[in-house]
Amino acid sequence: MNWYDKLSQYFPIEEMKSKEHMELLLKEKSDIYHKDEGTDYVIMYVETEDFVFIDYLFVSKNSRGQGLGKKLLDSLKEKGKPIILEVEPLDYEDTDTEKRLNFYKRAGFEHAESIGYTRRSLSTKELNTLEILYWSPENDSEELIYEKMKHTYEHIHTYKDEQLYGESYQTVDEVLSFSKNDDPVKKEKA
């Protein structure tokens, strides 16, 4: 099974980019958009000068619980930059959402509570709300994470969207929101 099939069998259709979209990013944005894959995993991520965005992280069912996902995250943490990702909100009817959230929490990721993220899927036309999680070696503010997420949305998620899908995604201001009241005061690291 190829890398795209692995991802599309695991991730919901409303969260998936088309294979053409990802291949175009790998070709035309190869300086920042990367794919790493092995027999039991696929990770697609963006690495800029000052942050990493995990677009997709897949670990095969047979390899889950054996430390492979943690090892992949640790290799990204070694870059010493904030790491951002999108994840489905907790759904008590889908135990995988709780397992995923717990996995990232154990890996030191925090929920960016002040960032709202809801976009219309071009494939299903339905609104899809995701939560933003992040890990930061320097205890970055959620406002900084929000700015990096906006950059990702504008340069990766919507890259050549009209050409690829025949229509455009919503603008970044329609999809992402920031509520200053919810941004917890970050404590200095001890």
Domain boundaries, the chain: 3-182
Burial of 32 (0-12, 13-18, 19+ CB in 10 A): middle
Q: How confident is the model at residue 91 (pLDDT cuts 50, 70, 90)?
A: confident
Q: How confident is the model at residue 173 (pLDDT cuts 50, 70, 90)?
A: very high
- Does the pLDDT of residue 63 top 60, yes or no? yes
Q: What is the pLDDT of residue 147?
A: 97
Q: How confident is the model at residue 180 (pLDDT cuts 50, 70, 90)?
A: confident
122-151 mean pLDDT: 95
The two structure tokens encoding residue 112? 């960016």
- Does the pLDDT of residue 183 top 50, yes or no? no
Percent of residues, the chain, with pLDDT higher than 70 = 93
E strand or H helix at 40: none
Cβ-contact 47, 32 below 8 angstroms: yes
Reference 35, options 52, 55, 15, 61; nearest CA is 55
Mean pLDDT (the chain) is: 92
2-26 mean pLDDT: 95
Residue with tokens 């992040």: 134
Please tell me the least confidently modeled range out of 95-104, 132-141, 180-189: 180-189
Fold of 3-182: Aminopeptidase (3.40.630)
Q: What is the pLDDT of residue 92?
A: 65
11-21 mean pLDDT: 94
63-92 mean pLDDT: 92
Q: How confident is the model at residue 64 (pLDDT cuts 50, 70, 90)?
A: confident
- Does the pLDDT of residue 186 top 60, yes or no? no
